[in-house]
C-alpha cells in the first residue's frame, strides 16, 4: 500500500509556493510512489474561526464549520506525512493557513490529540519575496509539535530563487530528510518537549471535573494510567 501524504495549500494560485511543493513531491517520488491528498484552503475552507471554543468544550462536531473541515482533517489524520505550504504574508503564514491551524486547536496535546498524529511526519514549506520564511515556518512547526507529530521539518525559499538549480537541490535534500523520517517513524522517539507537555497536561486534566470532555477523552484512552499516544 502506498504511503499517504496530505498536502495543504494556502490557496489555489500556481505560483512560487505551489512550484516548490511540486518540486518537493517530484523529489519524494524518486524514493517511492506516494498517494497525495491535496487541499486548497482558499476555496475549500474559507470559514473563519470565531474563537467560540465549542470544539474544545462541546466536541469538534459542534464547530459551525465542521462539515467543511472534516475532509481536510480526515486526510491529515490518515496521512503518513503532512505538508503545510504557505506564502509569507506580513512576515508570517497566510490568513487561510492560520485559520486552519486555529481550527485544529482541540487536537493539541493540551486537549484531545489523535494517536495517529504521533506517528506522522510534517513538512512546512514557505516562500517570500524578501523574508519572513523563518517565522512563517515556525508557526507551522509549532502546530506540528503540539499536534504530536513525531518529526517535523521546514524549508523557506526566496520567490526569486524558486526556479534555480540551487533551490531544486535544497528541496531534494529536504524531501530526502522527510522521507527517511517517514520511513523510519516507528523507531523514532518523540521529542522531549512533547513528553514534558503531555506529563504536565496529564496532571492538569486529571483535576478537571468528570463532565469535562478532555478528561473523559484522556480517561478513555488510558492516559491517566500507563497508556501513551506515541506507543503501539
H or E, element range at 67: helix 66-78
Q: What average pLDDT score do residues 159-169 get?
A: 96
Q: What average pLDDT score do residues 36-40 get?
A: 98
Q: With pLDDT > 70 as the criterion, what percentage of the chain qualifies?
A: 100
Q: pLDDT grade, residue 102 (50/70/90)?
A: very high
pLDDT, averaged across the chain = 97
Strands 81-87 and 34-40: unpaired
pLDDT at 68 over 80: yes
pLDDT at 138 over 90: yes
In the chain, what are the domain boundaries?
Answer: 3-189
Q: With pLDDT > 90 as the criterion, what percentage of the chain qualifies?
A: 96
Q: What average pLDDT score do residues 145-173 get?
A: 97
Whether residue 24 contacts residue 125, with contact meaning beta carbons closer than 8 Å, is answered with yes
Given this model, what pLDDT does residue 182 score?
96
Buried b / exposed e along 175-190 (16+ C-beta atoms within 10 A): beebbebbeebeeeeb
pLDDT at 16 over 90: yes
Question: 3-189: what fold?
Answer: Rossmann fold (3.40.50)
Given this model, what pLDDT does residue 112 score?
99
pTM, 2 dp = 0.96
- Those residues with Cβ within 8 angstroms of residue 154's Cβ, 6 or more apart along the chain or in another chain: 123, 124, 125, 126, 137, 138, 140, 141
The CA-based angle 31-37-43, given to 5 degrees, is 140
Amino acid at each position: 500500500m502506498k504511503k499517504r501524504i496530505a498536502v495543504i495549500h494556502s490557496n489555489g494560485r500556481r505560483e512560487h509556493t505551489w512550484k516548490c511543493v511540486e518540486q518537493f513531491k517530484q523529489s519524494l517520488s524518486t524514493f517511492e510512489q506516494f498517494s497525495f491528498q491535496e487541499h486548497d484552503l482558499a476555496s475549500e475552507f474559507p470559514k473563519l474561526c470565531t474563537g467560540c471554543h465549542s470544539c474544545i468544550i462541546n466536541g469538534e462536531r459542534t464547530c459551525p464549520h465542521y462539515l467543511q473541515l472534516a475532509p481536510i482533517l480526515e486526510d491529515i489524520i490518515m496521512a503518513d506525512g503532512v505538508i503545510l505550504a504557505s506564502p509569507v504574508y506580513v512576515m508570517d503564514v497566510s490568513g487561510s493557513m492560520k485559520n486552519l491551524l486555529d481550527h485544529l486547536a482541540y487536537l493539541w496535546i493540551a486537549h484531545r490529540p489523535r494517536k495517529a498524529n504521533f506517528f506522522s511526519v510534517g513538512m512546512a514549506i514557505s516562500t517570500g519575496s524578501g523574508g519572513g520564511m523563518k517565522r512563517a515556518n515556525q508557526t507551522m512547526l509549532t502546530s506540528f509539535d503540539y499536534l504530536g507529530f513525531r518529526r517535523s521539518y521546514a524549508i523557506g525559499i526566496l520567490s526569486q530563487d524558486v526556479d534555480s538549480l540551487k533551490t531544486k537541490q535544497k528541496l531534494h535534500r529536504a524531501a530526502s530528510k522527510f522521507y527517511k523520517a517517514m520511513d523510519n517513524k516507528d523507531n523514532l522517539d518523540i521529542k522531549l518537549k512533547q513528553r514534558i507537555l503531555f506529563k504536565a497536561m496529564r496532571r492538569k486534566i486529571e483535576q478537571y471535573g468528570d463532565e469535562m470532555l478532555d478528561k473523559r477523552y484522556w480517561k478513555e484512552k488510558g492516559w491517566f494510567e500507563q497508556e501513551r499516544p506515541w506507543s503501539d
